Amino acid sequence: MNSAPAETERIREALLQAAEADFLQAVGADESPVAFSLSYQRWEAKFLRNPRALAKRLARPLWQRAARAAACLLLAAALSFGGLMLASPQARATVTRWFTTWFDTHVSYNFTGPVPDDQLGLWEPAYLPRGYHQSDYIDLTNIICIFYSNGDPELDIEFSYQLMEEGSGYSLDNEWHNISDISVQGLPGQLFTSTKENGQNMLVWFGETTNHSFLLTSRLPCETLMKIAESVHYVK
């Protein structure tokens, strides 16, 4: 009377073994690079500042990028800004509004939560190195970009800011930068120090109370970027 359950169990075991064999074969397969759509590549070009890093990323198999991205996401959730979160209640509150994801070639900052009713307003640094003046102001509706120049285009300063609203964020190169956690006016942020001679340094920080995020980019020394960032204030 027990022959039917026993037969069912043997069939189940056989199916499980077959599924396991298929899985091991799939995992060990040598996947070829995935051809991404033009729209996806345009998105990458918009957010990634390093074309070489983009080409290198697209050359990797999709499963490898996904696995590394998932692992980096878990690490970022546990480790990113750990020191600041322990020391600053404001930093602990801010992390609920944005998430950091580490990839092989870049770091993505994605904002979440309800869309704030705040306006972008006008922000600007009170301090600029000697000889610098505003050379361009670009209003892209959801982000403001202000450029400062001393006459040498290689040393221009780009200051941009946006609201921390759903769907917005930054994507910054980490392949040619050393990244360190910093604090700007008591707010959490990260400093991207270029590893290339005369490369672009970047400084990003986040203000929970004002719903703004800020980004400074220049070939000037990181110490100068920090001084500029500390002087950024709301004008109107």
Answer with the residue of higher pLDDT: 173 or 116. Answer: 173
Question: According to the model, what pLDDT value does residue 48 have?
Answer: 47
Half-sphere exposure in the Cβ direction for 184 (13 Å, CA): 28
Distance separating the N- and C-terminal Cα atoms of the chain: 85
Question: Residue 140 — φ and ψ, nearest 5°?
Answer: -100, 25
E strand map for 52-186: 98-102, 106-111, 123-125, 133-139, 143-149, 157-163, 169-173, 177-184
Q: Per mean pLDDT, which range of 100-104, 144-148, 158-162 is the poorest?
A: 100-104
Q: pTM of whole model > 0.85? A: no
pLDDT single digits (tens) 38-90:
555 555 555 444 444 444 444 545 545 444 444 444 434 333 434 444 445 44
Question: According to the model, what pLDDT value does residue 204 have?
Answer: 96
Length of the chain measured in residues: 236
Q: Tell whether the model's pLDDT for residue 224 goes beyond 90.
A: yes
Find the mean pLDDT for residues 6-27. Answer: 66
